[in-house]
Structure 1
Amino acid sequence: MRAFRSLLSGASPFWLIAGILLIAANLRAPVTGVAPLLDLLRDHFHLSAGAAGLLTTLPLLGFALMSPAAARLGQHYGLGHTLFVAMLLLFIGILLRSSGPLIALFAGTVLIGGAIAVGNVLLPALVKRDFPDHVTTLTAAYALTMGIAAGLVSAVAIPLSGLGHNGWEIALASSAVLVLATLLVWWPQVRARARTAPPAHTAVPLAKSLWRYALAWQVTLFFGLNSLVYYVIISWLPAMLHEAGFSAATTGTLHGVLQIASALPGLVLIPLLRQREDLRAAAVTVTLLSLTGLAGLLLVPAWSLVWCIAYGFGAGAGIILALAFVSLRSASVGTAAALSGMAQCLGYLLAASGPTLTGLLHDASGSWAPILWLCMGCATIQAVLGLYAGGARRLGD
C-alpha cells in the first residue's frame, strides 16, 4: 500500500522517468513541426525564403543564447523547478506563436527557443544525477520519445492546416496539448522530489577552464555539426522534395518519416550501448549513414523515402551519442551541466546559421545541390570528431 501511495504521489522513479520522457517529447516538435507549414506561412505573410528560415533559426539562436544561463538557473533554483518553469513558458510561447499576427508568430518563436534551451541543457544533467548508471540507456529512450513526438507533429501538420481558413494556426497550436500533459505530470513529481531528494552536488573543480579542454571542444563540435546539418535538412526538406516533383502532402509525410526514423536509433542503441564507454565506432558509423542519406537526396531523389530513413536514422543516432557524450565525458553533475551549456550554446549557434544562410544560398543559386554538398562536408568532419569524442575518457581525468 505504501508503494502504491508513493507511485500516485509522484515520489517513485516511474513518475520521474515519465516526466523526463514527456519533457523530451517537447524539445524538438514545436520547432521542427513548422517546416511542413513554411510554404503556407510564406504565402500568408508574403515572406521571402530567408525570412521564413528565421522561423527555424530563431529557436536555435534561443538555444544558443540561453544555454549558458540555463546551467546557472538549474543550479540556483533546482533542476526540477527550473524545468517546470521552462515548460510553462513553452506552453505560453506556442499559444502566442499561433495567435495570428506576424509579430506574435516571431515573438512566440523566440520564447519557444528560450524555453526549449533550458530543457536541452538541464535534462542530461538530471539524467546523470538521478540515473548515473543508466545514462546511455535513458538518453536513448528520451531521444526516441523526442523523435517520435516530432515526427507525429510534422506528419499531422498539413492535415490540421486544412481544418480552417487559417488552418496553420491550428497546426502550430497542436503541440501545446503535449506541453500541457507534461506540466500536469511534472508538477506533482517536482514537489515530491523537493520533499524527498537531497540537493544535487556541484561540480568537482576542473584543473582549468572547461573551454580549454580539447575533449570539451570535440563533444561540442560533434554536437554542433550534427545539429547544423539536421536543422538545415529539417527546415528545407519539404522545399527540396517539392522542387524534385513531390506533392505537398507527400513532402509532409516524408518529413515526418525522417523524424520518426531519427527516433528509431533509440530502440537499437539501448541494448547495444548499455554500460559502454568507448563509442568511437558507433559515432563514425552513424555519421557515415547520415552522409549516405544526404548523397542519396542529391543524386537519386526519386528514392527519397530510403534516403530520408537513412539520414534520419544516422542523425537521430548522432544526437543520442552527442547527448550521451555530455554525461559520459563528465565526472560530476555540475560538470555535465556546464558541458551541456557549452555544447548547446556553441553547437546551436553554429546550427542557427544554417536555415537562413542556406535559404539565402538557394535564392542566389536556384538549386539545393550546393546546400547538400555543404551538408555532406560537415558530416565528414563530424565523423572525424566522433573518433575523439567517442573515446572512453572524462574531463579532468
Structure 2
Amino acid sequence: MSSAASGRLMLLATVLLVTANLRPAITVVGPLIERVGAETGLSPSALGALGSVPIVAFAVVSPVVHLLGRRFGPERTILVSLLVLAVGTALRSVPENGLLPQAVSLYVGTALLSAAIGVGNVLVPSVVKRDFPDRVPMMTGVYTAAMVGAAAISSGGAVLVAEAWGWRGAFGVPAVFALLAAAGWALRRAPAAEVEPAGTTPLPAGPPPATMWRHPLAWQVTLYFGLQSTLFYTLLTWLPAIQTSHGIDEASAGMWLGLFQAVGVVASLIVGQVMQRTRDQRGVSAVVVGFMLVAVSGMMLLPGLMPVWALCAGISTGCSLLLGLTFISLRAGSSQQVGRLSGMVQSIGYLLAAVGPVLAGGLYQAVGSWTPVLWCMIAVAALQGIFGHFAGRSVQLP
C-alpha cells in the first residue's frame, strides 16, 4: 500500500472513531430509563427531561462550533470535545454522595457529553469535506453507518451490561471508548492544504458568509435536515407505542425499534455509493421520502404488517440522515463554509426534533388515537420531499 493510500486510510479510521462515539452515550439511556427512575426516585417527567437534554444541547451548541473550529482548528477542537465527552459520561455515572447529588451528576454529566457530541456533529462534515473532497457522499455514508451502528449496539447491549455492572456501569462504558477515540485522533495528521472538488455549479453572486442565515439554499438544507430529524426522533420515541396499540407485545415492539435503527446502517452504505455517482440528489431524496410515506400509510391501513412498515421507516430515516449530512458538505463551497452551514442546519434541525415527539404525544393524549399523529407525519414527510427537491440540486452557496 502506498504512503498516500495508507495516509487516507488513517484519516478515514480516525473519522470513524469519532463518529462511532457520537451516539452511544445517548442511546444507552433509553433501555435503562426505568432502572434509573426506580433507583433514583426521579419522576417520569424528570426522566423525560433527561432524555431531551441532548437534543436541546445540540441546538444550543451548534451555532458556535464553527467559531471554535476556526479559532483552534478542527483537529484540536474535536480532540478536546472527545475528552469532554469522556468526562461528562463518567460524571453521569458517579454514585450519589455528600458532595454531588445523583440528579446533579446525571443532568450536568448529560449536558456536558451532549455539548461535546454537538461539536463532533458540526465539525465532522467539515473534516470530511476537507480530507475527502472527491468522495464526500461515499465517505458520509460510511461514517453515518458507523454512527448508526454504534448507536444500535449501545442500545441493544445496554441491558446485558447493566445486569453485570449496574446501570451506572452501563452509562460509564462509552467514556472508555471516547478516550480510545481521543488517543487515535491525537495521532492523525491532517492534509497540509485543502483541495475543493470540481463539478458543481456555484450559485450566482450572493451574500457574504455572515449572511448565510438569509440565503435560500441554506434554509432549504436546514429545513430538510430539521424535518427528517423530527420524523426520526418522533418514531424513536413513539414507534413502540404505535405498535403495541395494534396488539404487538412490548418485547417484539422493542425488537423492531432496534431493527428500525439498525437497518439504517445498510441503507447508508448502499445509498452513499449511489450518491457518489451522481451530482444531483433530487431523485434519491424522492425515493427516500417515498419509503417514509409508504411506511406511515401502511401503519394506518395495514397495521398487521407493522414490522414491514418499521423497516421501511428505518430505511427512510437512515438514508435521510445521510442525505442531510451530505447536503451540508456538497452545498457548501469550502470546508470552512461547511462548518458555518453545519452549525445553522443542526441548530434549527435539532430544535425541530425536540418539539416533534412532544407534539405527537400531546396530540395522542388529546384524541386517544395515533391516526392523527400519523397523518401529521405524512405531512412532515411531504414537506421533507419538497425541501429535498431544492436542497438536492447540484448547486453551491456562493
Q: Which bracket does the TM-score occupy, shorter chain normalised? A: 0.7 to 0.9
AA aligned to 2:290 is L
8 Å CA contact 1:83–1:119 kept in 2: the answer is yes
8 Å CA contact 1:224–1:347 kept in 2: the answer is yes
The offset of 1:214, in angstroms, is: 0.9
The offset of 1:270, in angstroms, is: 2.9
Name which of 12, 15, 18 aligns with 2:13. 18
Q: What is the distance in 2 between the residues matched to 1:139 and 1:126?
A: 11
AA aligned to 1:116 is I
The offset of 1:172, in angstroms, is: 2.5
Q: What is the distance in 2 between the residues matched to 1:287 and 1:94?
A: 35
Name 1:155's counterpart in structure 2.
156
Name 1:61's counterpart in structure 2.
56
**Larger deviation, residues 215-224 vs 31-40:** 31-40
Which stretches in structure 2 are left out of the alignment for 5+ residues? Answer: 96-101, 197-204
Name which of 90, 95, 102 aligns with 2:90. 95
The offset of 1:238, in angstroms, is: 3.6
Name 2:394's counterpart in structure 1.
392
Which stretches in structure 1 are left out of the alignment for 5+ residues? Answer: none
Q: TM-score, normalised by structure 2?
A: 0.87
Q: What is the distance in 1 between the residues matched to 2:128 and 2:394?
A: 19
Aligned CA distance change for structure 1 residues 36 and 233 (closer, same or farther; 3 Å):
farther
The offset of 1:198, in angstroms, is: 4.5
Does 2:326 correspond to 1:324?
yes
Name 2:261's counterpart in structure 1.
259
AA aligned to 2:157 is V
Name 2:305's counterpart in structure 1.
303
Name which of 331, 335, 344 aligns with 2:337. 335
8 Å CA contact 2:363–2:373 kept in 1: the answer is yes
The offset of 1:157, in angstroms, is: 2.1
AA aligned to 1:127 is V
Q: What is the distance in 2 between the residues matched to 1:178 and 1:245?
A: 39
The offset of 1:280, in angstroms, is: 0.4
Name 1:181's counterpart in structure 2.
180
Does 2:202 correspond to 1:207?
no
Question: RMSD between aligned alpha carbons?
Answer: 2.7
Aligned CA distance change for structure 1 residues 24 and 251 (closer, same or farther; 3 Å):
same
What fraction of aligned residue pairs are identical, expressed as a percent?
Answer: 37
Q: What is the distance in 1 between the residues matched to 2:304 and 2:39?
A: 30
Structure 2 counterparts to residues 1-397 of structure 1, below 5 A: 3=3, 12-45=7-40, 49-100=44-95, 101-163=102-164, 167-189=166-188, 192-193=189-190, 197-198=192-193, 207-208=207-208, 209-396=211-398
Aligned CA distance change for structure 1 residues 242 and 183 (closer, same or farther; 3 Å):
farther
Aligned length: 383
Aligned CA distance change for structure 1 residues 308 and 347 (closer, same or farther; 3 Å):
same
Aligned CA distance change for structure 1 residues 43 and 219 (closer, same or farther; 3 Å):
same
Secondary structure of 1:27's aligned partner: coil
AA aligned to 1:72 is L
**Larger deviation, residues 31-40 vs 364-373:** 364-373
Q: TM-score, normalised by structure 1?
A: 0.87
The offset of 1:268, in angstroms, is: 1.1
